[in-house]
């Protein structure tokens, strides 16, 4: 069995500060959600928590290949999170918490929110393409809404950055 992924939480702020959780990926709308959360945290004395979810491999027949793929996914997650952390810092002057978790994204998000009572809002970017708003937005704005114990903020993927600045 593979060892659990590390939780890269930076411990540089009081634990009770309100946190805005952003699930990061490489979509354009994610960067807008990140901008919104960073500026809201800055303007309200809060904090940003970034979550990167590594989905588990589905084929357990090739254990050695799975281990290599997992290690590569972890390396990519760390690299991606540090890039997003730099963006948060540039926007707000804050150092975000960094989380890498493995599992199904919806389950991982719910688990993290239940574990950390300082997380007060989930901020997701909503896609505007023909593919729809995205699987997490669809899930949490739909049937999982009742399971989410915090408010959900959806940032439309076609908002201009200066409009986000005005709204925060």
Q: How many CB atoms lie within 10 A of CB 161?
A: 13
DSSP H stretches of helix in the chain = 28-44, 63-92, 105-115, 135-140, 161-167
Count other C-beta atoms under 10 Å from residue 51's C-beta: 22
Q: What is the pLDDT of residues 72-105, one digit of tens each?
A: 888 889 999 999 999 999 999 999 999 999 999 9
Full-model pTM: 0.84
For 151-163, what is each residue's pLDDT tens digit? 999 999 999 999 9
pLDDT at 6 over 60: no
d(CA 9, CA 100): 9
- Specify the higher pLDDT residue, 16 or 41: 41
């Amino acid at each position: 069995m593979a060892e659990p992924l590390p939780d890269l939480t930076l411990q540089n702020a009081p634990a009770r500060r309100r946190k805005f959780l952003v699930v990061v990926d490489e979509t354009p709308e994610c960067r807008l959600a990140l901008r919104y959360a960073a500026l809201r945290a800055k303007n309200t004395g809060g904090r940003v928590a970034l979550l990167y979810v590594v989905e588990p491999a589905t084929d357990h027949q090739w254990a050695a290949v799975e281990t290599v793929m997992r290690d590569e996914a972890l390396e990519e997650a760390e690299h991606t999170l540090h890039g997003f952390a730099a963006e948060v810092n540039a926007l707000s002057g804050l150092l975000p918490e960094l989380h890498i978790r493995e599992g199904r994204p919806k389950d991982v998000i719910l688990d993290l929110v239940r574990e950390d009572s300082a997380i007060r809002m989930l901020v997701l970017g909503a896609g505007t393409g023909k593919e729809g708003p995205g699987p997490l937005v669809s899930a949490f704005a739909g049937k999982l809404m009742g399971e989410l114990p915090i408010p959900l903020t959806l940032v439309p993927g076609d908002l201009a950055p200066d409009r986000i600045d005005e709204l925060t």
